Chain A
Amino acid sequence: MLLPFYWVLKTAVTNENIYAYPPRLLPESPHLFNFVDVWYFIPFPRYLFNSLIVSVLVVASNVIFNAMAAYALTKSFPGKHAMLLVFLSCMLIPFQATIIPAYLITSKLGLLNSYLGLAFPLLSTIVCIFVFKAAFEAVPQSLVDAARIDGLNEWRIILRVLMPLSKAAIATNVVLAFIWSWNAFLWPLIITREPTMQTLPLGLARFLSYMEDTTGALYAFAAMVLAPSIFVFLMAQKEFIRGLTSGATKG
C-alpha cells in the first residue's frame, strides 16, 4: 500500500525516468533540489496559503454546520424521513452534474474569485452530517435530558454534551473535509479569475504547462501537495477510523 508513496518520493529526490526498465528500487544520487525548483518556479507559497485558507474555512464550517444539521436529524419532526431520503438521494448526484447551478448561485452571491466562494460547495457535506448523526445517536438520551433539566439550551447541549462525546466524528469531519477541499480541482478551476487566487491542484496544472523535463520536479510538487493531507490524516487517524466505523455495527 505504501509502494506508490515510496515511488513518488523516490522519483521526487532523483530525476529518474519513471518508465525506465528495469526499474530501480533505490534512488540513485538522491537530492532535494527538485523541491527548491517547485518552491521558486511557481508562486508555491501563495498557492499553499490559498489552499490553507480554503481548507480552514471548509473544515470549520463542516464541523459547525454538520453538527447542527445532525442534531436536528436526531430529533423527531414531520417530514424527517422525507428529508433523510432527500439527503441520501443528493449523495447520488455527482458534483459535476450540479456545477453550473452552483456556479450561478455563487456568482449571484458575488463570491466568484474569493476564498468563501472557493469553499462554498464544501461548507457542509452530507456524508459528514451522517457521521455526526450516528455519533449523536450513540449518546444516551438520558444525558441530553439531564442537561436540559439542568437548564442548558439546545446550542449548549450540542456544544457541552454532544460534541465532547463525539471526538471521533469531529476527527472524521476534519480529515474528510480537509482532504476534499485540499484536492479540489474542478471548482477552483472555474471559480478563480486570477492566478493569485488559485490553489495547489491548479498550481500543479500550471506547473506542468510551464515545465518540460520535469519528472523529478513534478513528483516533488505532488509530494509537497500530498504532505499536508497525509500529516492531517496521520495526526487524526485513530479518531478517523473510529469515526468511520462507529455505527457500522449494532448492539
Chain B
Amino acid sequence: MMMPRWAKSRWVVAPLVIAGATLAWNGYVALNDGGVVEGQVVDANGRPVPDATVILLERHFVMHNERQRTRTDGAGQFRFAGNDNHSLQLEAESASLGRSERRVMRLWFRAQNVRLSEPLRFTGKLP
C-alpha cells in the first residue's frame, strides 16, 4: 500500500518521531518512578557493615538537606522509599567506623528507582 504524500512530509514525520520518543520516555518513567533507593554499606576491607546509619540528603537549589535516615540490615543493605528528588547524596555513619564518603547521585528523573552500583565504603578513619 502506498503511503500518502503528506505522510512522508518532514513536517509530519519529525513531530511524530518526537512525540513517539516522548511517549516512550514517559512510559519508561511511569514504570520506574517508585522512589526506591537501595545499596550496601561496607567497611574498608569490603565487609558488610550491619546497623550503620545511612542518611539521604536531597538537593534544594544550592544546598543539600537531610531528608531521610535508615539503618543497614545484617548484610549491610539499606533501602529508602518515597524519594521524590532527582539530585541526591548518600552518607553512612557508624559509632565504631566514623563516616563514609558522601556519594553524589544524579538521577534521570524524580523518584527514579536506583541501586548503588558501588557500595558506600567506610575509610576506616574515626572522626
Q: Which B residues have a C-beta under 8 Å from some C-beta of A? A: 10-11, 14, 61-62, 86-87, 106-110
Contact at A37–B87, with CB atoms within 8 Å? yes
Contact at A210–B61, with CB atoms within 8 Å? yes
| A13-51, CB < 8 A from B | 31, 33, 36-37, 40-41
How far, in angstroms, from A100 to B109 measured CA to CA in the complex? 43
How far, in angstroms, from A36 to B106 measured CA to CA in the complex? 9
- Closest B residue, CB atoms, query A41: B61
Cross-chain contact of B109 among A36, A231, A235 (Cβ < 8 A): A36
How far, in angstroms, from A231 to B61 measured CA to CA in the complex? 30
Contacts of B14 in A (CB 8 A): 231, 235
How far, in angstroms, from A41 to B86 measured CA to CA in the complex? 10
Contacts of A41 in B (CB 8 A): 61
How far, in angstroms, from A40 to B62 measured CA to CA in the complex? 14
Q: How many A-B contacts at CB < 8 Å in the complex?
A: 23
Contact at B106–A235, with CB atoms within 8 Å? no
How far, in angstroms, from A36 to B87 measured CA to CA in the complex? 9
Query: Chain A interface residue count: which class?
Result: 10 to 19
CB distance from B51 to the nearest CB of A (A): 33
Contact at B62–A213, with CB atoms within 8 Å? yes
CB distance from B15 to the nearest CB of A (A): 9
A36, A41, A231, A235 — which one has the most chain B CB atoms within 10 A of its CB? A36
**Can you offer 23 A-B residue contacts whose CB atoms are under 8 A?**
A31-B106, A33-B87, A33-B106, A36-B86, A36-B87, A36-B106, A36-B107, A36-B108, A36-B109, A37-B86, A37-B87, A40-B86, A40-B110, A41-B61, A210-B61, A211-B61, A211-B62, A212-B62, A213-B62, A231-B14, A235-B10, A235-B11, A235-B14
- The 7 A-B residue pairs whose C-beta atoms are closest, nearest first, are A33-B106, A212-B62, A40-B86, A36-B86, A210-B61, A235-B10, A40-B110
- Closest B residue, CB atoms, query A210: B61
Contacts of A37 in B (CB 8 A): 86-87
CB distance from A76 to the nearest CB of B (A): 36
How far, in angstroms, from A108 to B118 measured CA to CA in the complex? 63
How far, in angstroms, from A127 to B62 measured CA to CA in the complex? 45
CB distance from A93 to the nearest CB of B (A): 35
Contacts of A211 in B (CB 8 A): 61-62
How far, in angstroms, from A211 to B59 measured CA to CA in the complex? 12
Contacts of A40 in B (CB 8 A): 86, 110
How far, in angstroms, from A37 to B110 measured CA to CA in the complex? 10
How far, in angstroms, from A33 to B87 measured CA to CA in the complex? 9
A31, A40, A213 — which one has the most chain B CB atoms within 10 A of its CB? A40
- Other A-B contacts than A36-B106, A231-B14, A235-B10, 20 sampled, CB-CB below 8 A, are A31-B106, A33-B87, A33-B106, A36-B86, A36-B87, A36-B107, A36-B108, A36-B109, A37-B86, A37-B87, A40-B86, A40-B110, A41-B61, A210-B61, A211-B61, A211-B62, A212-B62, A213-B62, A235-B11, A235-B14
How far, in angstroms, from A40 to B106 measured CA to CA in the complex? 12
CB distance from A217 to the nearest CB of B (A): 11
How far, in angstroms, from A211 to B110 measured CA to CA in the complex? 19
